[in-house]
Amino acid sequence: MLRIKRMDLFILQSFLPLFVMTFCICLFIVLMQFLWRYIDDLVGKGLGVDVISELFFYAALTMVPMALPLAILLASL
């Protein structure tokens, strides 16, 4: 039977909230870089909020492999 030791549980409880926060910040920064790169293509086209949010959702999915290692590195510091 697999049991989680007290020290492992402490490490997870101290690392996971910091990792989630760092991951959200890194993903936000990468998405803002994406926005600044393609803002001239998006402005003035008459796109709805649903289309732009779908674009950001798909961009966020493709940016996760870039933000994940950075978040792990920064959270472990």
Let me know if residue 13 belongs to a domain.
yes
Instruction: Domain of residue 27: give its range.
Output: 6-76
Q: If you search the block for the tokens 């674009």, which residue do you land on? A: 55
Let me know if residue 14 belongs to a domain.
yes
pTM of the predicted structure, to 2 decimals: 0.82
Here the tokens at position 59 are 């961009």
Hey, what amino acid is at 75? A
Let me know if residue 48 belongs to a domain.
yes
Let me know if residue 33 belongs to a domain.
yes
pLDDT for res 1: 67
Q: Count of domains in the chain? A: 1
Let me know if residue 1 belongs to a domain.
no
Question: Mapping DSSP to helix (H, G, I), strand (E, B) and coil, where does residue 4 land?
Answer: coil
Let me know if residue 20 belongs to a domain.
yes
Here the tokens at position 9 are 């549980």
Let me know if residue 16 belongs to a domain.
yes
> Can you give the pLDDT of all 77 residues of the chain as single tens digits?
678 788 888 888 999 999 999 999 999 999 999 999 988 888 888 888 899 899 999 999 999 999 999 999 999 98
